[in-house]
Amino acid sequence: MIRLKPSDLNYKVLTYQKEDIVFHSVYVSDLLSNVLRNAKEGDILVTTIANLNTIAVASLKELSAVIFAEDKVISEDMIEKALEEGVCLLVTPKSAFQIALDLGKLS
């Protein structure tokens, strides 16, 4: 179990999360079928796929958070659905690789 304080990383939190994000591991993918197959409950997903399906998959797999790389535009609909489903969303201009490095330093 790894703890991430959203404010520490300077990523933008879209779902008003104030508590620490507790995660097991990090899964990086832009293919939701791979996320469905391989991501584990409690993982953080790092992706550039930003649509309602990303939120639905994160909710189904009970991921601890989704971090959108490369400053992807996140719609109001997505934020609303994430709040409904209890999925924490963050966004940053960094690349997926840089995000993975940031998260790696925590573990």
Partner 1 sequence: MVSFRKHFDIQAGNYDEAGKAASEIKRVLKQLHFSKDLQKRVSVASYEAEINIVIHSVGGSVDFLIQDNQIFLQFVDNGPGIEDIALAMTEGYSTASDLSRLNGFGAGMGLSNIKKSADEMTLVSDPCGTVMKLKFIDREVVEDDSSQTI
Per-residue x/- marks for partner 1, 52-91, CB under 8 A?
Answer: xxx-xx-xxx---------------x-------x------
For residue 82, the minimal CB distance to partner 1 (Å) is: 13
**What is the C-alpha separation between 62 and 75, in angstroms, rounded?**
21
The CA radius of gyration of the chain, in Å to the nearest whole number, is 12
Residue 95 as a binder of partner 1 (CB under 8 A): the answer is no
Residue 25 as a binder of partner 1 (CB under 8 A): the answer is no
What angle, 0 to 180 degrees and rounded to 10, lies between the N-to-C axes of helices 52-60 and 76-85? 10
Three-state DSSP at 81 gives helix
Q: Which among 88, 60, 61 is positioned nearest to 74, based on CA atoms?
A: 88
Chain center to CA of 35: 12
Give the binding range for partner 1 (CB under 8 A) out of 8-16, 35-43, 66-74, 91-99.
35-43
Question: Binding residue for partner 1 (CB under 8 A) from 36, 71, 93, 95?
Answer: 36
For residue 10, the minimal CB distance to partner 1 (Å) is: 26
**What is the C-alpha separation between 59 and 84, in angstroms, rounded?**
10
Question: What are the residues binding partner 1 (CB under 8 A)?
Answer: 30-34, 36-37, 41, 47, 49, 51-54, 56-57, 59-61, 77, 85
